[in-house]
Amino acid sequence: MNNPADLLFTPFDLRGLILKNRIVMAPLTRNRAVHGTDAPQALNAEYYAQRASAGLIISEATQISPTGKGYAWTPGIYSEEQISGWKKVTNAVHAKGGVIFLQLWHVGRISHPTLQPHGGLPVAPSAIAPEGQRTFIETGEFVPVGQPRALLLSEIPAIVRDYRIAARNAMTAGFDGVEIHAANGYLIHQFLCDGSNQRQDSYGGSIENRLRFALEVVQAVTEEVGAHRTGIRLSPVSPSNGVFDSAPASVFFPLIKELNHFDLSFVHVVEGTTGGARDFKGFDFQAFRKEFSGPWMVNNGYDREKAMLAVSSGYADLVAFGKSFIANPDLVARLQWDAPLNQPDPKTFYGGDAKGYIDYPTLSSKPADAVPKGYHCITPSLIVEDAKKAIEFYKYVFGAQLILCKTKAGKIGHAELQIGDSKIIIFDSLTISDAVSARKYGGSPVELRLYVDDVDSIAKKAVAMGANLIRPPENMFYGDRRAFLEDPFGHYWFIVTHIEAISSEEMKRREIEHGWTDNLDDPD
């Protein structure tokens, strides 16, 4: 790796899982599970397989139980049919060499009775309705979220157990690990924040109590699948889904210190407002990162340059991209080549079929550089009467290498020679339009300048092969030793060896001595 910025595209050892790059596909809710069963289908498998070039895929949020559901047609991980559906996805991703984690999700109060078992109320830490929030129901409409009911103290252990079982099911389905969704205003986040948790028992009130549910879930999941296969997603300051805390730093800094004890696979942090502004006064994400000793994944508003800087500077180990992956299944290649990105169609984000899901175009090949590799902005083309003979001359005298040769009607129509770090193109006269050789005009109005290690030996070789030595090698006042010759095909060459490094002051003195002056503005 020559450029530290390229670190984003290099492999990363994620607690024993080797990721092929440091680009992560963030979890993206797309609402395309099978109606009635909430099981993934072949369409989902193709979608994820298309994006398997990501170093790590984190699946869309997946409900751990029927009460954890908050939107229509989101997948679950609590039934045999769902596990079987997810196996199709993991098999497809692994067949493409990808790594995939399942995101474990309980929406808490962000739901609607039509989505809950038996039409019940959504559950939450406290019976506080989120203001202005809507959810997506089976009719295909967004409707207001209603009033939740507060969980009974006796109900909480069962939800923790649901997380444990869901993690177990994820591994059965072939996932490489799981991510606990503790962000974006869903159940765990609701327990953490005083704006949504006003309980008076052991799960509310003090910071320690508000952390309890999150830490119990982490404990259960890591016991089930292992800490190195468990990540967690946090959004300390994002007001998503109406969740807020009066002093987020006082909650999330203690939380991150507690998470250090688990030796997790990673912490995935949404910086700023999910899908919005990254800056938030009063919360220091740099300091937050320093509190965690394990792999650090960042998210929200990262583009190519920001991502490369985050990784090369050592601030982040991994960078997650969300919406960019919707329209760019080959996002990794586009970022690496700095190619234009497809723009997603918001009308197809939630629900639907293949349109806007698996039909986005990929690059057919690497975008061409304006100047092809190995060429310079100006690349000379030499027209000669006998290209075959000219090639042999340049190979012997200048040490050229023939790298391409195309013939047409018995003549060389395009040959490329490499001389040092430069290319020249040679072709026989009249093979391209009416182009004729320098000999046709009795000489050439153009000279080529070639820098070599030993001008004297090159000049001798040229003369031996029929070149006309117009000026023998001589030392010039500007630090070069040069010879001037005409090759057997009518082209003029200055053959040069730079022999003296001259200071600007000394060069100025010599120029004056030899009658040269600077006159960039008016050469007359």
Interatomic CA distance for residues 347 and 176, integer angstroms = 32
DSSP label at residue 121: P
Contact 380, 448 (CB under 8 A): yes
Backbone phi and psi for residue 31, each to the nearest 5 degrees, phi listed first:
55, 55
Residue 415 has a pLDDT of: 86
Say which residue, 140 or 53, is predicted with more confidence.
53
- Span 213-250, pLDDT tens digits: 999 999 999 999 999 999 999 999 989 999 999 999 99
Residue 322 has a pLDDT of: 97
Residue 188 has a pLDDT of: 99
- Span 23-35, pLDDT tens digits: 999 999 999 999 9
| pLDDT band of 523, cuts 50, 70, 90 | very low
Say which residue, 487 or 172, is predicted with more confidence.
172
Could you tell me the domains of the chain?
4-348 (3.20.20.70), 381-513 (3.10.180.10)
Q: What is the mean pLDDT of residues 463-469?
A: 95
| pLDDT band of 507, cuts 50, 70, 90 | confident
Asked whether residue 373 carries a pLDDT value surpassing 90, the answer given is no
Interatomic CA distance for residues 168 and 243, integer angstroms = 29
Instruction: Write b or e for each residue in 161-199: b if 16 or more Cβ atoms lie within 10 A of its Cβ, otherwise e.
Output: ebbbebbbbbbebbbbbbbbbbbbbbbbbbbbbbbbbeb
Asked whether residue 364 carries a pLDDT value surpassing 70, the answer given is yes
Q: How many H helices and E strands in the chain?
A: 13, 22
- Distant-in-sequence contacts of 297-303, Cβ < 8 A, 24+ apart: 297/24, 297/231, 297/266, 297/267, 297/268, 297/269, 298/269, 298/271, 299/26, 299/268, 299/269, 299/270, 299/271, 300/270, 300/271, 300/272, 300/273, 300/274, 300/275, 301/271, 301/272
Q: Write out the catalytic residue numbers.
A: 186
Among 5-9, 299-303, 328-332, the range scoring the smallest mean pLDDT is 5-9
| pLDDT band of 1, cuts 50, 70, 90 | very low
Q: How many CB atoms lie within 10 A of CB 459?
A: 23
Among 271-280, 319-328, 421-430, 491-500, the range scoring the smallest mean pLDDT is 271-280
Instruction: Give the pairing type, strands 492-498 and 480-486.
Output: antiparallel
- Span 391-445, pLDDT tens digits: 999 999 999 999 888 887 788 888 889 998 888 888 887 665 556 677 777 767 6
Asked whether residue 134 carries a pLDDT value surpassing 50, the answer given is yes
Residue 413 has a pLDDT of: 81
DSSP label at residue 101: E
Residue 522 has a pLDDT of: 46
The label of the residue with tokens 């991994």 reads 318
Residue 510 has a pLDDT of: 85
Residue 414 has a pLDDT of: 83
Could you give the percent of the chain with pLDDT greater than 90? 73
The label of the residue with tokens 């001595």 reads 513
Arithmetic mean of pLDDT over the chain: 92
The label of the residue with tokens 């000669």 reads 384
- Span 318-363, pLDDT tens digits: 999 999 999 999 999 999 999 999 999 999 999 999 999 999 999 8
